[in-house]
Homo-oligomer: A and B are copies of this chain.
Amino acid sequence: MNQKIEQLRLKAAELTRHTHELGIPVMIVFEGVPASGKTRLTNELLLTLDAKYSHFIATKPPSDFDLRYQFLQNFWNTLPSKGHINIYFRSWYSHFIDYRVHELKKSIFQNSTVMTEAIQNFEDMLMADQHEIIKFYIEINEEKRQEHIEQMKANPLTNWKAQEYEQFIPKAQYEAMMSELMDDSFKVIDYTHRAAAIEQMYRYLIKRLEKAIDNYEKRERVIDGQFTPGFTTTRFQKPETKIKKSEYDALVEELQLRLRELQFALYERKIPLVLVYEGMDAAGKGGNIKRVRELLDPTGYAVTAISAPTDVELNHHYLWRFATVMPKSGHISIFDRSWYGRVLVERVEGFASQDEWSRAYDEINAFEKMWTDEGAIVLKFFLSLDKEEQLKRFKAREEDKNKQWKITDEDWRNREKWDLYVEASDDMIEKTNTSYAPWLVVPADHKKTARIQVLKYIIKKCEAKLWGVKDY
């Protein structure tokens, strides 16, 4: 038998070297009751894989700290990069069961479909992006299982570990919930006979990896820079009334003080707030954000200004670098450009294929819903600028020695593609303007007016969420 298993190991090792070279991220899930053999099976697999690109992710019962984040936060944070392999010892399925059995975040998860929908969307968007998700459910004969537990108990050095098994979710409950959750995407393996289980695991793994490689090699990645003409720019209007200079200073401060109060109220009520800024170059995103944050307590907010992705970011799912900086409960995350880059710059410049950016609208809607479903406020601002006004601002920047650094050749190149960016923005707003994460298109030709409009809008939305004002 060792000979046969050794051949399977070599084959699995070879295939994972191949998925590594191709850059396919692989996620291998192991579920099963405690003492079912998951430990020994995952270690067997780990020993076969190259430690350079394989990772063991143990899913623990959620701590108080975990509860401050979105349900899938830890799985977002630890997503495998291209060509890497994650082995999940218990996974988002056990995580779901932990939440249900211990009634965690009860008020939010009264209806468990919030979580199952998040799981479904999470898996779907990863699979759409070539992630290979392979799921095992390990079973074992109860007699064998008890034997193993007794063995642990008998040894004074491992006795505490056996006791830990018993603190786990009751076996019957885990099994019942898993059988509800599992569909045929799970491969069930009986660990009662170790050698047979190992053999089954490898055979299934090999089959899946071969298929993944085959699919990968067959896939077509069409970069399509062609767009249909005839779009409308009706969204992008000039402001009807401009705020007067004499009113501005006092009004800004009044609104900022109110927002600061609301920051503390959100913190106390543990409501996270996400503010997303998009818009044309020189539309005044930076200055607008500055007015929003100016009187906030810096221990409770963070600004993420998006630059071109690093190598490490490029090697992950495109949402990874945003998911890792989403706010915990009661905190505020402000994004100066965001995941919408997928359907703006990546679409226009051809960094994403047509298939990739086309499905990104649904992915982004699902992504934002994961946070709003758990009580977060997500507000999105599109600062819309007139083409002539942009030219004026570009020139003014070039002439001001303290602003020259803001204007680069890239800005001028983007400007040449103005119409394409407007069309992409138009599509974006239409397809991602959801009830739970709405867009506010802000005419930004007059900066001060735009700032007041955004401040007022944030305040209104926060008040509505905090105290249930009707129009929310």
Chain A residues engaging chain B, CB cutoff 8 angstroms = 10, 13-14, 17, 39, 42-43, 46-47, 50-52, 55-56, 58, 63, 65, 87, 89, 155, 157-158, 160-161, 261-262, 264-265, 268, 286, 289-290, 293-299, 302-305, 307, 310-312, 336, 402, 405
Contacts and interface: CB of A to CB of B under 8 A. Distances in A.
A405 B17 CA distance: 9
Contacts of A13: 402
A400 to B, nearest CB: 10
Contact of A89 (B261, B296, B298): B298
B51 A305 contact: yes
A356 to B, nearest CB: 23
A-B CB proximity, top 8 nearest: A51-B305, A51-B303, A52-B305, A311-B311, A157-B261, A58-B299, A43-B298, A158-B264
Contacts of A286: 51
Contacts of A304: 51
Given A47-B294, A51-B336, A55-B302, 19 more contacts: A10-B402, A14-B402, A43-B295, A43-B296, A51-B286, A51-B303, A51-B304, A52-B307, A56-B298, A56-B302, A157-B264, A157-B265, A157-B268, A158-B264, A160-B268, A310-B310, A310-B311, A310-B312, A311-B312
A305 B264 contact: no
A155 B268 CA distance: 14
30 contacts: A10-B402, A13-B402, A14-B402, A17-B405, A39-B297, A43-B293, A43-B294, A43-B295, A43-B296, A46-B293, A46-B298, A47-B294, A50-B305, A51-B303, A51-B304, A51-B305, A52-B305, A56-B302, A58-B298, A63-B65, A89-B298, A157-B264, A157-B265, A157-B268, A160-B268, A161-B297, A310-B310, A310-B311, A311-B311, A312-B312
A9 B389 CA distance: 27
Contacts of A47: 290, 293-294
A297 B165 CA distance: 14
Contacts of A268: 157, 160
A294 B299 CA distance: 45
Nearest to A39: B297
A133 B77 CA distance: 29
Given A157-B262, A311-B311, A298 B51 contact: no
A428 B329 CA distance: 47
A293 B87 CA distance: 16
Given A58-B299, A298-B39, A311-B310, A261 B51 contact: no
A310 to B, nearest CB: 5
A43 B289 CA distance: 13
A394 to B, nearest CB: 19
Contact of A261 (B155, B298, B336): B155
A430 B297 CA distance: 51
A301 to B, nearest CB: 8
A182 B155 CA distance: 51
A251 to B, nearest CB: 19
Given A47-B290, A155-B261, A402-B10, A42 B298 contact: yes
A297 B52 CA distance: 19
A182 to B, nearest CB: 23
Nearest to A315: B310
Contacts of A55: 302
Nearest to A55: B302
A160 B290 CA distance: 26
- Quick one: which of A52, A89, A299 has the most chain B CB within 10 A? A299
A265 B159 CA distance: 10
Nearest to A294: B47
Contacts of A51: 286, 289, 303-305, 336
Nearest to A152: B264
Contacts of A50: 305
Contacts of A297: 39, 43, 161
A307 B315 CA distance: 16
Nearest to A47: B290
User: Which of A55, A87, A293, A303: most chain B Cβ within 10 A?
Assistant: A303
